[in-house]
Amino acid sequence: MLELTALQIHSLIGQFWWPFCRIMGAFTLMPMFSNGHVPVQVRVLLALCIAILAGPLLPAPPPVDPLSVAAALLSAEQLAIGALMGLILSILIHVLSLLGQMLSMQMGLAMSVMNDPANGVNHALLGQLMVMYGTLLFLALDGHLVSLAILIDSFYLWPVGNGVLDLPLMMVVMKFGWTFAMALMMAIPAVMAMLMVNITFGVLNKAAPSLNVYSLGFPLAMLLGLFSILISFSGLPDRYSEICIDALSAMHQFVGGQP
C-alpha cells in the first residue's frame, strides 16, 4: 500500500498550486485571456490544465504547509508576480486603444463611442476597431504561445519563493510612458495630415467668410481622416510586430531573463 507523509503531500499540492496562482494572475491582465468575453471558468480551467501539465517539469517549490499563513502570503505573491507580467503585456492593447482615441479626436469622432458590456467600459469606435485588429495580429504572430512560454520559463528564472518586491517594479512604471510614446509615434502621420486639413479650413474661413466651412469641413475631415487611416494601416503590421517583440522581451527581462 502506498503511504505518503505529510511533507510529501504538501510538496505535491505546492507543485501544482503555486504555478496555478502565477498563471491565473497573468491571465487576469494578459491580452486575449483577460477579455471579458472569455468566461472566468474558462480562464480557471485553462490555468489549471497548464499548471497540471507543467507542474512536474518545474523546479521543486519550497516546503510550505498549505493551510498556514505563509502559504496564503505565498499564493498572493504568485498572483502578484503573474499580474505584473500580464500588466507589461497588456500595453499592447493600450497602445492601439490610445491610437484609436487620438485618431478619433482628430477626425471629429470623439463622441462616437461603443459600449462594451463585457468589460464594463466605453471605447471610441475607432479605438475598438484598432483593439480588435491588434488582438487578431497578436494571435497571427503566435504572441499568445510565446507569452505562455515566457510564463512557464519564469518559474526557472524567478522560482517560487523569490520575493515580488525584488523584481524591477520600476520597469512596469516606465512601460506606461512607453505606451504613450508608441501610440503617438503611430498616430503622428494621420495627426499631422488632419492638422494640415484643419489649418486649411481655418484659412478658407478667413479668406471666404461667406463660405460655410463648418458644413463642408466635417464630412471632408472625416473623409480625409479615413484616407489617412488607410495610409497608416499600410505600415501598422510591421510597427505593431516590433511593439509585440519589445513587450514580450520586457516581460522576459522582468523576471530575470536575457534581452
Supply the pLDDT for residue 122: 67
CA distance 175 to 169: 10
Q: Which three cell numbers stand for residue 120?
A: 464594463
End-to-end CA distance of the chain: 50
State pLDDT tens for residues 208-224: 777 676 677 677 777 77
116 bridge partner residues:
121
Q: Which residues of the chain, if any, have pLDDT below 70?
A: 1-11, 108, 110-123, 211, 213-214, 217, 257-259
Q: Report which of 18, 79, 46, 15 is spatially closest to residue 148, judged by C-alpha positions.
A: 46
- ∠ CA 191-186-169 to the nearest 5 degrees? 125
Q: Report which of 8, 2, 6 is spatially closest to residue 61, judged by C-alpha positions.
A: 8
State pLDDT tens for residues 105-133: 777 676 666 666 555 566 677 777 888 88
Supply the pLDDT for residue 28: 86
Supply the pLDDT for residue 1: 43
CA distance 105 to 190: 11
Give kind and range of the element (H or E) at residue 253: helix 213-254
pTM > 0.75: yes or no: yes
